[in-house]
Chain A
Amino acid sequence: MTQLALVIDLNVCVGCHACVTSCKEWNTSGAAGPMVDQNPYGKDPTGTFFNRVQTFEVGVFPNAETIHFPKSCLHCEDPPCVPVCPTGASYKRKEDGIVLVDYDKCIGCKYCSWACPYGMREFDEAQKVMKKCTLCVDRLYDPQMTAEERRPACVRACPTSARLYGDIHDPESEVSRAIREAGGYQLMPEWGANPANHYLPRRKTKLRLRPDEIERTDNPLKVDGLLPKPGKSEPSLDDVTTW
């Protein structure tokens, strides 16, 4: 069984919001209708977004780190938002595990947004239905697109490749490898929703040098520099003489 998901590398994300704008651009132009903004240029702008980049500071200055944290629907394997929907508008696709809302069935009761511990669903004030990240399902299977284009808009937009996309149930996929080898984890595991999207932790790149790597042990003269130059007719010896 396939479970498509994103794996987001917090070690790489620079917080540029390219995934936010590309998501908005692609999904507001789609057949499902626009993601409408209210007062976009006014005093109190607001609107529907499927994806946000948040910023956290971990630690206390000077030992502080800035974490940019992209946040979108996690496409849970056991989504708590789906069974509470009274109309069946919220559903999880069997074939690829994407959690979707049927905008033609949704009555806009907002109950699913209460049932999502992550706050990943947004009510569209113009269309009066609940919306959420679709993992760009309208791109993934489009035969008119090239294989490279058949990926979510946010993944394509990321300039640092912090967003990986693939099937987390396929152990040999890029995302499964990343989760396995770079310590991928789920958000709020305490609620048992089993989110499909994973995050890769920050990793400190440390230079591990032993003293013997700073000073060559195989340098018998304990000096760096030119070695004695023997005459042309004399035999030479590696590491002892210079030609």
Chain B
Amino acid sequence: MHPAFSVIFLTTLIGVGQGLFLALFTAQSYALFGLLPQQDSHAFYAYGSAIALLFLIGGLIASFFHLGRPERAWRSATQWRTSWLSREVIVLPAFMGMVFLYGLAHFFECKPVLATLPSGIAIDLTVVIGTIAWLLAFALYVCTGMIYACLRFLREWYSSLTVINYILLGGASGFTLATAFAAITAPELVRFFAGWAVIITLLGLVSRVASLIRNARLRPKSTLQTAIGIKHPQIVQKSQGFMGGSFNTREFFHGKSAAFLRSIKWIFLLLAFVVPALLLATGLSGGAAVELLLLAFVVQYLGLMAERWFFFAQANHPQNLYYQAIG
């Protein structure tokens, strides 16, 4: 497939936004049970939510560049019964709204206690909003992943690993950003976030490598024989029917060499997983420089963009069988 930069930005940016929110709410949940010190609503949760929201808005803006007719985008919420894309279109703004409310409630310290657990832990408004947003964050990861994982003949994508990768890679970048954010606003949380960021990054490495191995072992189900229905081992295309390009030759080919594809694979394995994990490890010992942690996030984000480019480029659409020769 031809990797579209609008979609690369959309999926990586909202992945960061969701991950950052999940990190914030994880810290709040830990603090709720007294496992972490309580943080300042303003400086930590409100501004953290604002940053997460900025990433989500960035992703939403990027998505509009993918559309031929962005003015009709509202129509895309109608087919949620059958289309994962439509479901994503519904869940993304819903999640953004909940993150906004979550940040707002923290900003104005509007935290009326709604219930009290038997153990005496007070469940306030931000916890309720946060829980809903937490569910929506995971729902959004699933929707984004399923857009690709539901296409059964794009076999590189047709796997549960696709959804798992979207969750883990988005989560990893969000927790890495949270580590850098905590280094500025809440230094006592740096070790907590760095620990989770390293764990999620390494889990992401495992699942991404697993999908790379799976894809390397795939054998195509469709061949020229099934494409034109002639049972002969020796078939070559002599003409695709036209000399210039068409949508079919632009949209489904990445147009780069196999060597370029291979080098992008190693680049993203290095930048998205290995380098950030090493940089984050400095945060584990405490007292890490903010610059190093920010660098970890930037490097990981660039790595994830390369990862997403590779994700699209690697998918081999069966229609390509029909477009192999100009003549």
Which B residues are CB-close (under 8 A) to A86?
Answer: 75-79, 83, 85-86, 89
| B257 in the interface (beta carbon within 8 A) | no
> Assuming A44-B244, A55-B239, A191-B152, is B69 touching A107 (CB within 8 A)?
yes
Which residues of A sit under 8 angstroms from B256, Cβ to Cβ? Answer: none
CB distance from A66 to the nearest CB of B (A): 7
- Pick out which of these stretches binds chain A: B207-215, B218-226, B292-300: B218-226
- Tell me whether B317 and A56 are in contact (CB under 8 A): no
Verify A59–B234 contact, CB threshold 8 A. yes
Q: Does A150 contact B (CB under 8 A)?
A: no
Residues of B within 8 A of A39 (CB): 244
A109-117, A135-143, A160-168, A225-233 - interface stretch = A109-117
The yes or no answer to A88 lying at the interface (CB within 8 A) is yes
Nearest chain A CB to B28 CB, angstrom units: 34
Q: Is the CB of B246 within 8 A of A46?
A: yes
**From A56, A59, A129, A189, contact of B237 by CB (8 A):** A56
Cα distance A225–B228 in the bound complex, in angstroms: 52
Which of A58, A66, A105, A107 gathers the greatest number of chain B CB atoms within 10 Å?
A107
How far is A188 from B240 in the complex, measured between Cα atoms in Å?
A: 18
Instruction: Indicate whether A105 sits within 8 Å of B75 (C-beta atoms), given known contacts A46-B245, A52-B240, A117-B153.
Output: yes
Task: Report the separation of the CA atoms of residues A190 and B67 in the bound assembly, to the nearest whole angstrom.
Answer: 31
**Interchain CB contact under 8 A, A108 and B78:** no
What is the distance, in angstroms, from A73's C-beta to the closest C-beta of chain B?
12
A sample of 30 cross-chain residue pairs with beta-carbon separation below 8 angstroms, ordered by A number, consists of: A20-B241, A44-B245, A45-B243, A52-B242, A55-B238, A55-B239, A56-B228, A56-B235, A58-B234, A66-B238, A71-B322, A80-B152, A85-B83, A86-B83, A86-B86, A87-B72, A106-B72, A107-B67, A107-B68, A107-B70, A109-B85, A111-B85, A117-B153, A118-B322, A119-B318, A119-B319, A119-B323, A187-B226, A191-B152, A201-B229
Cβ-closest chain B residue relative to A127: B68
A14 within 8 A of B: no
Cα A20 to Cα B317 with chains together (Å): 24
Contact residue among B70, B75, B153, B154 (Cβ-Cβ distance under 8 Å from A88): B75
| Contact status A119-B83, CB under 8 Å | no
